Amino acid sequence: MLPQTSHLASDKITTLSSQGHRAARQGAWRIATDLPTSFRYAAQGLIYGVVSQRNFRIHLVIGTVVLGLGLWLQLKPNDLAVLVLMVTAVLVLELLNTSIEAVVDLAIGRRFHHLARIAKDCAAAAVLVAAISSLLIALLLLVPPLMTRLGL
C-alpha cells in the first residue's frame, strides 16, 4: 500500500531523513522540464548524500586522498584514470544504495519484510564489493611507486 499524498501547500516540501539528518527538497514529485532543473535535482541528490550518509563522506575522503597520492606519485595518466573510475564507481554505488534504501523504506514503512532486507543487503554488498576491489586496485597502482619514492 502506498502512503497517501496531499496537494496542500504545506505538503509541497518533502522532508527526507536518514539517521537523524534532515534535508528538504521542494517539489520532489515534479519532473524536470529543462536541463538546469535536472542538474539542480542531481545536485540536491549529491548534497543529500554528502550531508546525510556517513559512508559516502568516508568514501569521498578516502577517494580524495587516493587521487592526491596518485598525483603526488606522478602516476601515468592511464593509472590515474583507473583510480578515478574506481573512486567514482564506489561513490555512485553508495548513492544508489542510499536511493534503494529510501525507496524500500517508502514502500514498506517501518514494517519488516524479508524482500526489503534482501534489497537493502544486496545494495550494501554492491558497495562493499566495489570498495574492496577499489582498495586492491589502488594498492596495485600506488604501492610500487610509493616504495620507490620512499627509497624502500
Helix (H, G, I), strand (E, B) or coil at 22: strand
- Domain ranges in the chain are 1-52, 54-152
Which fold does the domain 54-152 belong to in CATH? Helix Hairpins (1.10.287)
pLDDT of the chain along its 152 residues, tens only? 444 443 333 333 344 444 444 444 555 567 778 888 889 999 999 999 999 999 999 999 999 999 999 999 999 999 999 999 999 999 999 999 999 999 999 999 888 899 999 999 999 999 999 999 999 999 999 999 999 999 88
Please state, in angstroms and rounded to a whole number, the distance separating the CA atoms of residues 41 and 50.
Answer: 14
Which residues fall within 8 angstroms of residue 131, CB to CB, at 6 or more apart? 59, 90
Question: Catalytic site residue 101?
Answer: no
C-alpha cell at 110: 517501518
What pLDDT does residue 7 have?
39
CB 120, CB 100: distance < 8 Å: yes
Of 93, 94, 116, 131, which is the active-site residue? 94
